[in-house]
Structure 1
Amino acid sequence: MTLQQFERRQQFLTPQMYETLKAETLNTIETFKVNPTGVGDSIEERRVYSYAILAENYLNLLILEYTVGNSLPFIRSQIEIVIDYYEQYGSKLRSYHKNINLPVFELFTIDGYWAFEAACAVILLEIENDKVLQEYLYYPKDLVDFYQTFTLKNSELNFLKNHNKLSIKAGEKSPQQGYWFTVAKVNSRQHFNLGDVFPDFESDWGDVYWQFDGEE
Structure 2
Amino acid sequence: MDEEIYNSKCRQRYLSFNQYIKLKNETLETIELFKIQPTGVGKSLHERWLYSKAIVAENSFLLWRLEYTAGKNIDDLRKDFEHVISFYEQYASVLRTYHKDNNRSVFDLENVNEYCEYIGLISICYLLHLKSLIRRVATLVDGVERMNAGQDWLIEEFLSFGDLKRYDCESVLVPQPYLNLCEAFSAQDNDVSYLFLRKFLKNWYSELKATSWHDTHKSGQGYYGYWSFETACSVILLELDSDDELQQSVYYPKDLVNFYKNYQ
TM-score normalised by length of structure 1: 0.62
Task: Give the partner amino acid of 1:119.
Answer: A
Structure-2 change in CA distance of 1:88 and 1:124 (3 Å): farther
How many pairs align?
Answer: 151
Counterpart for residue 251 of structure 2: 138
Q: Percent identity?
A: 52
1:72 and 1:143 in contact (8 A); partners too: yes
Contact 1:94 1:100 (8 Å CA) reproduced: yes
Structure 1 residue 38 displacement after superposition: 3.9
Question: Is the alpha carbon distance of 1:142 and 1:51 closer, same or farther for their aligned partners in structure 2, counting shifts above 3 Å?
Answer: same
Residue 111 of structure 1: how far off its partner (Å): 5.2
Describe the SS at the equivalent of 2:50. Answer: helix
C-alpha displacement of 1:113: 1.4
Report what 1:4 is aligned to. Answer: 4
In the alignment, structure 1 residue 21 sits paired with structure 2 residue 23 = yes
Which of 213, 231, 234 aligns to 1:121? It is 234
Deviation at 1:104, TM superposition (A): 2.1
1:1-216 equivalences under 5 Å are 1-6=1-6, 7-105=9-107, 106=114, 107-108=116-117, 113-151=226-264
Write the distance in 2 (CA, Å) between the matches of 1:28 and 1:55.
11
The offset of 1:39, in angstroms, is 4.0
Kindly tell me: are residues 98 and 148 of structure 1, through their superposed partners in 2, closer, same or farther at Cα, counting changes over 3 Å? farther
* Deviates most, 128-137 or 77-86: 128-137
Following TM superposition, by how much is the alpha carbon of 1:89 offset from its aligned partner in structure 2, in angstroms? 1.0
If the length of structure 2 is used for normalisation, what is the TM-score? 0.52
8 Å contact kept, 2:31–2:56: yes
CA contact (8 A) 2:69 2:225 kept: no
CA distance in 2, matches of 1:80, 1:25: 18
Using the TM superposition, name which of 118-127 and 57-66 deviates more.
118-127
Q: Deviations over 1:14-38 (max 9, x none)?
A: 1110111011101111221222124
Unaligned 5+ segments in structure 2 are 108-113, 118-212, 214-222
- Once the two structures are superposed, residues 118-140 of structure 1 have per-residue CA deviations (whole angstroms, 9 ceiling, x without a partner) of 22333344444323321111100
Tell me the amino acid that sits aligned with residue 93 of structure 2.
S
Q: Which has the higher strand share?
A: 1
Letter of the structure 2 residue corresponding to residue 4 of structure 1: E
Task: Give the Cα–Cα distance (whole angstroms) in 2 for the partners of residues 12 and 112 of structure 1.
Answer: 8
- How far has the Cα of 1:55 moved from its partner? 1.0
CA–CA distance in structure 1, aligned partners of residues 10 and 225 of structure 2:
17
CA contact (8 A) 2:50 2:94 kept: yes
What CA distance in whole angstroms lies between the structure 1 residues aligned with 2:67 and 2:43?
35
Distance 1:87 1:34 in 2: 16
* Distance in 1 (alpha carbons) for counterparts of 2:4 and 2:83: 25
Q: Give the match's secondary structure for 1:10.
A: coil
Q: Does the C-alpha gap of structure 1 residues 87 and 127 become closer, same or farther in structure 2, counting only changes over 3 Å?
A: farther
Instruction: Tell me if the contact between 2:66 and 2:224 (Cα under 8 Å) persists in the aligned partners.
Output: no
Secondary structure of 2:51's aligned partner: helix
- Check whether the contact 2:10–2:69 (CA below 8 A) recurs between aligned residues: yes
The answer to whether the 8 Å contact 1:3/1:68 transfers is no
